[in-house]
Structure 1
Amino acid sequence: MKIVSSQDWRDAIRFDAPVLVAEVVPGEATRCVACGTDGPLYERTELWAVKHRHPKHHGGFVRFYCEVHKPAAPPPPPAPTIEARRARAASAPKERRAPSLKPTPITDRPTRAMCPDCFVEVSAGGDCGMCGAQVV
């Protein structure tokens, strides 16, 4: 049995990137997770959805934040410098090509007995594995 996660609105959100809740899921006014259950209700146009990574669930989890508690988006990774690219290319293993193997021509292959009814190869004893007929 293969267990898969269901497709839902949370799959469309990138990790650690704040998105307006109204853009990803409609609904009623709700609270900011940082303000707590005593905090005010916010409209979905005033809340930010952030998907966080989870150590045991590959899909992560989503939390809603108000403007005050919204986490900052992570900075983009720095672009690799020319020196770093050259060092990576120099340390990469050189590609080796396997010797080209020429396929055996059909005329050089041994012919095997075939069942005239099933059109499958028969065993060395001459019995067809499909219908049980004896092929000489």
Structure 2
Amino acid sequence: MKIVASADWRDAVPFENPVLVADVVPGEPTRCFACGPDSELLPRTELWAYKHRHPKNHDGYVRFYCAFHVPEAPPKPQVAAPAPAARAKASRPAAERRAPKPVVPERIRTMCPNCFVEVSATGECGMCGWSEN
């Protein structure tokens, strides 16, 4: 059995970007979230769907806002140029870079021929008393 997330109209709404509600989900007039439950009903062509991020739910949540209350989309982050020091590090010759540590093979341990357990450093099996000597 494969468990998948449900397909929902809210999946089509991008995060932190206002979208006209009529384009996302048609229906009857509804209210602005910020105006409250006592406000007048507005047609969906005058409301904006805004998908907020949620710390515990990766799908987030959607609220409807009127033009007066719709949150602004956050500015897109600017990509900063790498610092000059970072460029100097990257351009070092290959000889100056650190060589990987050599792999040291693990020492082969003595096994008891009767119990098939590893023999202690004294050379005696702790299970049956077999001695390597």
TM (normalized to structure 2)?
Answer: 0.60
Find the aligned partners of 1:10 and 1:41 in 2 and give their Cα distance.
21
Find the aligned partners of 1:22 and 1:85 in 2 and give their Cα distance.
50
Q: Which residue of 1 aligns with 2:13?
A: 13
Find the aligned partners of 2:72 and 2:58 in 1 and give their Cα distance.
22
| 1:39 to 2:42 alignment | no
Find the aligned partners of 2:6 and 2:88 in 1 and give their Cα distance.
40
Find the aligned partners of 2:38 and 2:4 in 1 and give their Cα distance.
36
Unaligned runs of 5+ in 2: 91-96, 100-133
TM (normalized to structure 1)?
Answer: 0.59
Percent of aligned pairs with the same residue? 63
User: Higher mean Cα deviation, 2-11 or 36-45?
Assistant: 2-11
CA change 1:31–1:89 in 2 (3 A) is: farther
Query: CA offset at residue 34 of structure 1?
Result: 0.4
Q: Which residue of 2 aligns with 1:76?
A: 76
2:45 partner SS: coil
Find the aligned partners of 1:86 and 1:18 in 2 and give their Cα distance.
40
Query: CA offset at residue 8 of structure 1?
Result: 1.0
Q: Which residue of 1 aligns with 2:58?
A: 58
Amino acid at match of 2:27: G
Find the aligned partners of 1:89 and 1:17 in 2 and give their Cα distance.
39
Q: Root-mean-square deviation (CA), in Å?
A: 2.6
Counting matched residue pairs gives 92
Shift >6 Å, 4+ stretches? none
Q: Which residue of 1 aligns with 2:86?
A: 87
